[in-house]
Structure formats: structure tokens, C-alpha cells
Structure 1
Amino acid sequence: MEVETPKLLNDFLIYMTTIKGKSKRTRQEYEYDLSLLMRFLKGVRDGGETSSTQPISIKNVDITFIKEITLEDLYAFLEYCEVARNNSAFARARKVASIKSLFTYLTKKKRLLEYNPADELETPKIGSRNPIYLTLKETHQFLSGIEKNHHYHRNYCMMMFLLNCGLRVSELCSINLSSIQGDKLSVIGKGNKERTIYLNDICLSVLHNYIKEERGLVHNIKDQDALFLSQKGTRLNKRTVQRLVKKINEESHLNKNKLTPHKLRHTAATLIYKQNPDIRGLQYILGHESISTTQIYTHVDSNELRTLVASHPLNQPS
């Protein structure tokens, strides 16, 4: 059973994409989070049912319903997400962001609310975590697992773009031939923001090989401007790239736990920073809005810490 989106929620989603420039994925996350909130509150008000096997209809949710929501209701929802749905602090923090965005829209843009209960809603505390990445040695081993089949040049080119440019998988899949001018690659990132990434020599080399040895031979191309194509001549999608990374991980015998394209982005960022610790430059390459997001790559590994302590002058022979 598909839950119909109420008009006020649909209006909000349209505003977030057309005016705020949020991506399709972000819109889907907003819709999921806020529909879940409305189903939870409606279930509680209608008799305490919050975990029915059949989705609770929210199509009649209107501003009158929203006006009755209190701060305590919002915290009860977050508790439900943590206890009943086993949501992590990251997942709950995303829901808080969705809720705050909706109530800000209804209060300041639509002026349908005089009181915003989400103003005082706190975000769950998220512990700092170092990104998971491959070492340089592991990166070479990973690349050795790319199968030398008829898609070798395409797959090698994609992996080198991920590992050298720190692209998101959605950015990789959206690259067009027209996006590349010389060594300049134009990328459309989050929030529909465009940035320029300069391709290094290895990227230009593997790109040339792919276009010459494979892409130029593909027939029945459905999207003439798409760079990375499937066997059918269509643009590759994120799921295909995710499966490919998983397969290369296995074929290389690296078997890194839960290796994904996003962890290859972490790898690129870490290797770039270790070679040249320019945090502002790295922020631009990765397309981060806040430098605090980029700063997770300024970590040092255990071997570096060990070397640092060993170099202490009191540790030197007298």
C-alpha cells in the first residue's frame, strides 16, 4: 500500500527542490522522514498504534494537525526511531534536520504557524569517527582486481576517477563528454552546485584509453553525451558502480569490509591530504559546503602517532 503524500508536505518538497536546489535523493529522504513522523503521530493520536504492518494513511494531514504537534511529540518520535526502529544517532540527526526544515518552511515561508515547536529540538550527539579508507598499498591491490574483460578500460577509468578526484558516485555517473575540456572536469555536486576538478596525467591517460578502446566502439548509444556507458548504450547508474566496486574488492582478494564507492572517495581525500595538507583546496575538490566536514581527513593513523612519540627528544639515546 502506497501512502499518499499530503498537500502541505508535497508543497514543501517542491519548494526544497525548485527553490533550495536540493537533489532528488535529498527530497526522497525528506519525504521518508516526514511521512514517518506523520504516520507515527497519527497512529498515536488514533489509539497508540505506531508499528502496524499496514502503513497509516496520512493523506488528510493538514495544518490543523501540524499545529497540534509539540516539542514533546517530536522527542517521542525520536525515541520511537531509536528504540523501535533501531536508528543510529546519524539517522536520527537526519530526521531532526528534515523536521526543522519543514517547520521553518511552514513558519517563515508559508506563515501558517505562529509557534515553531522544532526551534528547540536538539540534534542527537554524534561521536566523531575517522573515515574508512584504503592505504596506498591496498589501493594498488584493489586496482589489480579489475577484471580484464571487454569493460576493462571503462571500469579502470571509473575507479581511477573515484580514487584520484574524490568524486561521489552520483557525480561519477553524471559525467558527460561535454563536462571535460582539456584537463578540466566540471562536476555538478550536492545542491546542484558546479565545481571544476583538474584531471591529473593518469586520469587523462585512462580516459583516452577508454574512449579510444571501448566507448568509441559502442553502438546504439542512448545518451550520446554520457561518458560511462552500459553494454546497452545507456548511462551507468549508481547501483552498477556499487556492484562493480564490491566485485573488484573480492577479485583483488583485498576483501575490505563493506567497501563502497564512498569509501573510495574517503581514500582519495586521505591520500591527497597526506601528500599535500591543503585543507581549503581539499574542501573545494570534494565539494564540501563546510570545512568541518573536510577536517575528518586531517586524522593521523596509528603508525604516524607511533613515529611522532618515538621522535620525542627524551626518547633519543643520551
Structure 2
Amino acid sequence: METIKGRSPRTVQGYYTDLCTFFRFMKLHRHLSAPGLEFSKISIDDIDISFIKTITLSDVYEFLHYVSSDRQNQAKTRARKVSCIRVFFKYLTVNLKLLPENPVENLEIPSIKKSLPKYLTLEHCYELLNAIDGKEKARDYCMITLFLNCGMRLSELVGINLPDIRDNTLLLRGKGNKERIVYLNEACQTAIQEYIKERNQHLASVKPTDKQALFLSSRGTRLCPRQVERIVEKYLKLSGLSGMGYSPHKLRHTAATMMYQHGHVDVRVLQEILGHTNLGTTQIYTHVSNEQIKEATDQNPLAKVKSKK
């Protein structure tokens, strides 16, 4: 997955976890584990190709029922598990030819309910930016400005290196190590320049392995995703926006919504900016606009006026 298909280590780890869960379930399902043993303690070291050959499509459906009822997995999580199992068995059947036929070839992916993305209003964006203060103000303001203007993912933000910044453009590395260029508007360029001035005053404390990282912690190491999440949570709280379901990913939604609604950006251009592989993923932002049109129409004072009988 990582070497040939170019999937990220995080995706590979997710597949690994899903397969472990599946095989532990199979041991439990077939009464091959000690009674009362904690699920995570079930050993799968003895799983071999002979055991895998006995797995049927019905077993997988039992597994999906289990993760839904016992582990409360939502449709999106179950769909990821289905994708993992399908890829795994296809690899064993087609690539390694260890199975005579693929038992999950007809396994369907659970339908995922499409919900409108949650995003900050323009007023909320101003409140969030105005709340940024303190010792790391320049760094934190720069990060949140990039989130709100470029619509980048959390992993893309923490992965930015200094050479990736080229005048008014920024190179991002997205899912599957796919690279794309985003343009930096005036606000982003100014925020980056101000932060780099501050950053360069503390170069002596930067760890050698993180010299190229744009965003650094107070200890001189590259910021990790969880640290950025805490920083965003901090300013959401200071601006009175905590407890509303906002997160760094919601800031990405906000950027996309602002560009589509206020900038009238074409959906295909938006797809390029966000780094979406499928246009369908981007089109959810057009539904946001349609929902607002509906709400505006419903607010018409004549909306509930009916003909007198």
C-alpha cells in the first residue's frame, strides 16, 4: 500500500488496525479465543492462509453487524473497513494467487449519508482571528490564516517546509503524497512573512532534523497534528466558539465555503484548490449554497401566505 500505491503511513496504519479487528472478530466468532478474554487481547498470530481460505462472505457480513451493533461504528467507518477487506482479499487472489477465488468480490460498501459540511460564518472567522494573542501570536495567526484562506488539510499544514514557499505560491503534499500548488493571497503572504521574522530569531533552539519545518513548537520541533488541534481549540474557546463542533478540518470547510459563496469560484477550480480526487467530493459545497438559497426563500414574509377559501 505504501510502497507501490503511495498511500500515506496513516492510511496504512488504518488498514492494519481494521484487519486486526476483523481477524480478532473471526477468532471470537468461531469460538477460537478464551472465554471472557478482552477483545484487544485476542491473539491473531496463528492466522494463516489456511484459515483465510475458510472465510466466507457471510462471515464478513457478520463482522459488519458486529462493528455496527457492538462497537457503534457509523456507516463511514464501516465503509472504510469494507474497503480494507476488499483490497486485502483482492491482493491475495489477484496479486499473490493464494486464493482460488475472491470470497468478498460482491461485498457492497455501506451507503454513507451525505451531510452538509459544518463551517464558520464570516463573522466567526473575524472573531477567531481577533482572538489570537500571546507569545506565539505570529505563528498561530499564520496557521489559522492559511487554514481559512487555502483550505488545506491538517496533515498538509504541519508538513510544510520552508522551501515549499515560493513567492506567492505554496507546495502542499496531500493524501497519497500527491503534490499540488496553492496560491497565497495577500493575507497569507503577510502572515508568513511576519511569522518567519519571529521564527528566525529562535533558530539556535531548532532541532537539526526540523530545520526545514515551517511551523515549530516552543521546543524547536515540528508541530504535530495534535498540537495544532489544541492551538485551534484554544482560540475557538477564547472567541466563544468552543462546543460548536469546530476543528481544523472545519476551517478547511470554511475556506472552501467562503471561496464558493463569496468568491464565486467554479467548482472544478475549487476541486483543484482542495486537492479532491473526485469532483463529487467538492460538489457538497454547492449543496451548502443551495441550502442557503432555500433558507433565504423561506424567510420571505409571504412564504406562508395562503389563498383564503
For 1:156 and 1:71, locate their aligned partners in 2 and report how far apart those are by CA, in whole Å: 51
> What is the 5 A alignment of 1:286-297?
286-297=274-285
Match of 1:22 in 2: 7
Match of 1:188 in 2: 173
Distance 1:194 1:27, change over 3 A: same
Partner AA of 2:213 in structure 1: A
Gaps of 5+ in 1: 1-15
Match of 1:94 in 2: 80
Q: TM-score, normalised by structure 1?
A: 0.89
Distance 1:23 1:314, change over 3 A: closer
Partner AA of 2:176 in structure 1: G
Distance 1:72 1:105, change over 3 A: same
Write out per-residue CA displacement over residues 152-198 of structure 1, whole angstroms, 9 at most, x where no aligned residue.
Answer: 00000000001111111110000000001111111110011100011
8 Å CA contact 1:145–1:253 kept in 2: the answer is no
Match of 1:177 among 162, 172, 177: 162
Secondary structure of the 1:300 match is helix
Q: Which runs of 4+ in 1 moved over 6 A?
A: 48-51
Match of 1:283 in 2: 271
8 Å CA contact 1:215–1:229 kept in 2: the answer is no
Match of 2:44 among 45, 52, 58: 58
Match of 1:83 among 44, 69, 77: 69
Secondary structure of the 1:231 match is coil
Match of 1:217 in 2: 202
Secondary structure of the 1:219 match is helix
Secondary structure of the 1:262 match is helix
> What is the 5 A alignment of 1:1-318?
16-47=1-32, 52-53=37-38, 55-146=41-132, 148-222=133-207, 223-274=210-261, 275-298=263-286, 299-300=288-289, 303-308=292-297
CA drift of 1:70 comes to 0.3
CA drift of 1:47 comes to 4.6
For 1:224 and 1:293, locate their aligned partners in 2 and report how far apart those are by CA, in whole Å: 35
CA drift of 1:310 comes to 7.0
8 Å CA contact 2:33–2:42 kept in 1: the answer is no
Write out per-residue CA displacement over residues 47-93 of structure 1, whole angstroms, 9 at most, x where no aligned residue.
Answer: 57797315211112111111111000000000000011111111111
For 1:50 and 1:183, locate their aligned partners in 2 and report how far apart those are by CA, in whole Å: 62
For 1:264 and 1:214, locate their aligned partners in 2 and report how far apart those are by CA, in whole Å: 24
Secondary structure of the 2:105 match is helix
Distance 1:215 1:49, change over 3 A: farther
Partner AA of 2:131 in structure 1: G
For 1:227 and 1:97, locate their aligned partners in 2 and report how far apart those are by CA, in whole Å: 35
CA RMSD of aligned residues (A): 2.2
For 1:295 and 1:67, locate their aligned partners in 2 and report how far apart those are by CA, in whole Å: 41
- Determine what percentage of the aligned residue pairs are the same residue: 45
Count of matched residue pairs: 300
For 1:198 and 1:71, locate their aligned partners in 2 and report how far apart those are by CA, in whole Å: 48
Gaps of 5+ in 2: 305-309
